[in-house]
Amino acid sequence: MGNQWIGLLLVVGAFLLLFGDQVGYTLKKVGRFRDGNGSFSWTDVPIIGRFLEREHYEADTTEIRDFIVSLQLAASLGETLSGGLIRAAEQFSDRGVFGERLRRQVESRLSMGPEEVIKGLAEDFDSEELRDVLRRLEMVREAGASTSEALAVSADEVGGRIEDEIKRDIQRSPVRLTVPMAVGVFLPAIALSMYPLVAGLVRSLRAY
């Protein structure tokens, strides 16, 4: 029995050693939630979010591009990435699900670092574009380059993807319109050509 308790204490000790900071963060968030000073979601806690199924939301690529552009403009004006995220949360407050998740991520993760906010959004919307932003921010931080330039490159890349999607939609439009056009043009013509035959058949049936 004593060995079992010792083993349990060792497991608990190892758990606290590995995840002590995240447990403290969780307790802090719970306390803020109870005091009414912040919102709390278990999926926003990294250690617990790993064990819970995370819901993926939908966002237009244009919304993600506008978000990156907003951060880039803030950085070009000398604003920190954290400040840019706060401004973006205010700017996108009326942008539906994306604005709501951005606000939630800023409230729950900004204290851990601005990159954590972007990472949370990338997970929320399963966005490869936002993961690219994270990779570029990490590269410029290691190289000592400008955050504004990294965000500008990301914004241009996302804009290019949107243009490519529009071009593909335009190229596919004739194919998509072929069947409706064929039905719209030929069906009335077939109906008109068959009208005399149908009318004659109806008159014959009436004669009997």
For the stretch 178-189, pLDDT in tens is 656 655 666 666
Per the model's pLDDT, the better-predicted residue between 137 and 3 turns out to be 137
Same domain, 30 and 113: no
Q: Are 65 and 31 within one domain?
A: no
Question: For residues 178-190, b (16+ Cβ closer than 10 Å) or e, as one string?
Answer: eeeeeeeeeeeee
Q: Between 116 and 177, where is the model more confident?
A: 116
How high is the pLDDT of residue 171? Answer: 74
- Tell me whether residue 81 is in a domain: yes
**pLDDT confidence of 21, banded at 50, 70, 90?**
very low
Same domain, 19 and 89: no
Tell me the pLDDT tens digit for each residue of 85-133: 999 999 999 989 999 999 999 999 999 999 999 999 999 999 999 999 9
Q: In this structure, are 107 and 157 located in the same domain?
A: yes
Lowest mean pLDDT across 21-30, 72-81, 114-123, 128-137? 21-30
Q: Which residues contact 42 (CB under 8 A, 6 or more apart)?
A: 48, 49, 52
pLDDT score, position 28: 47
Please indicate, yes or no, if residue 139 is contained in any of the structural domains.
Answer: yes
Q: Which tens digit of pLDDT belongs to each residue from 155-171?
A: 999 988 888 888 887 77
Write out the residue range of the structural domain in which residue 123 sits.
Answer: 61-161
Residue 136 is assigned to a structural domain of this protein: yes
Rounded Cα–Cα distance for residues 86 and 107 (Å): 9
Q: Are residues 29 and 79 in the same domain?
A: no
| Domain co-membership, 31 together with 66 | no
Residue of 67, 71, 61 whose CA lies nearest to 163? 61
pLDDT over 70 for what percent of the chain? 56
Does 118 map to a domain? yes
Position with higher pLDDT, 138 vs 204: 138
Whether residues 19 and 73 fall in one domain? no
**Shared domain check, 118 and 27:** no
pLDDT at 34: 42
Domain count, the chain: 2
65 plus 138 within the same structural domain: yes
Does a structural domain hold residue 43?
no
Tell me: do 8 and 90 sit in the same domain. no
- Residue at token pair 């072929």: 178
Higher pLDDT, 203 or 113: 113
Together in a domain, 30 and 82: no
Q: Is there a domain that residue 105 lies in? A: yes
Place of tokens 């009318």: 199
Decide if 65 is inside a domain: yes
| Same-domain pairing of 145 and 79 | yes
CA pair distance 49, 52, nearest whole angstrom = 5
- Residue 193 located in a structural domain: no
Gyration radius (Cα) of the chain, Å: 29
Q: What percent of the chain lies above the pLDDT cut of 90?
A: 40
